Amino acid sequence: MRFVSCSSILALCLCLLGNGCSKGITRSTAATVFFVKGNVVFGNAERNDFRPVTPRSKIQAGDTVRTPDGASVELALMPGAFVQVSGDSEIKIEDLRLTKDGNETAGGVLDRRAAIRINRGRIVSLFSHSDRSPSEFSVTTGQVSLRPDSDCLFSVWTDGTTSRVACGRGELSAPADDRPPMKIVAGYFSQWPAAAKEPIAAITDARAQMDVKTALDVELELLDQAAGWQNRRVF
């Protein structure tokens, strides 16, 4: 009996040391650079340690990306989450990770997560749930946090004190502490600090109309880049 008990304990310890029979292994990942135009840089903002973004750059959680006026960069944060960062913008990658089944040597992805913060400027994001593994994606500014509720195309602009979000396709939500999250659907926008309690039709605002048009134009570029990347990636 003592031998059986010791063997059971040993097996349990080995399972736990191997990150569990049922729990996954979580590791950090890096964004892939689709396309870069101009002198875009990335690095540690606190140390003012930046280097040029190239197609070979691996941008990770904690990195800040800066685009000067006239520049831009297109990134794959994870399968299904793509962004274009416009000129005169700054974003910080806050989270990039995946969790895999500890018993799987290949595949076995349980979920993926990506989160970015926009300090200033504009991004256009294309998010899709079409990948086989569950995924979570969020975009935050100083005024609002956003989460796509479906396959979604949207634009976010901020100057640090005001943020504007316009949806080109799908639906996204802006969670709130004291009330149900605001839902922004295709063709609508909202601005924070909130001037209205509900999203407004983009057709009523020239800036929002341009946001939606820009997002639809960028969508074609991101889809083209993503198609080529999906064919050659090993993730």
Tokens 């509720």 locate to 149
Nearest CA to 114 out of 143, 130, 94, 132 is that of 94
Q: What is the pTM of this model?
A: 0.84
**Amino acid present at 5:** S
pLDDT computed for residue 201 by the predictor: 97
Q: Give the span between the Cα atoms of 195 and 144, in whole angstroms.
A: 13
pLDDT computed for residue 233 by the predictor: 58
**CB pairs under 8 A, 24+ apart, for 220-229?**
221/35, 221/74, 221/84, 222/34, 222/74, 222/82, 222/84, 222/124, 222/126, 223/126, 225/34, 225/35, 225/74, 225/76, 225/82, 226/34, 226/76, 226/82, 226/126, 229/32, 229/34, 229/76
pLDDT computed for residue 87 by the predictor: 97
Nearest CA to 96 out of 110, 114, 109, 82 is that of 114
Q: How many residues does the chain have?
A: 235
The separation between the first and the last C-alpha atoms of the chain, rounded to the nearest angstrom, is 46
From the CB of residue 178, how many other CB atoms can be counted at a distance below 10 Å? 4
Which residues, in sequence order, are bridge partners of residue 37? 72
Nearest CA to 212 out of 153, 134, 126, 148 is that of 153
pLDDT computed for residue 187 by the predictor: 97
Pull the structure tokens for residue 97.
Answer: 């990770």
pLDDT computed for residue 12 by the predictor: 38
From the CB of residue 26, how many other CB atoms can be counted at a distance below 10 Å? 13
Could you give all domains of the chain from N- to C-terminal order, each with its CATH number?
A: 23-232 (2.60.120.1440)
Local confidence pLDDT in tens for the 235 residues of the chain:
443 444 443 343 434 344 444 467 988 999 999 999 999 999 999 999 999 999 999 999 999 999 999 999 999 999 889 999 999 999 999 999 988 776 554 557 778 899 999 999 999 999 987 556 678 899 999 999 999 988 999 999 999 999 999 999 999 998 766 667 899 999 999 999 977 889 999 999 999 999 999 999 999 999 999 888 776 654 4
pLDDT computed for residue 199 by the predictor: 95
Q: Give the span between the Cα atoms of 162 and 204, in whole angstroms.
A: 19
Q: Would you give the distance in Å from CA 37 to the centre of its chain?
A: 20
Q: Give the span between the Cα atoms of 137 and 119, in whole angstroms.
A: 17
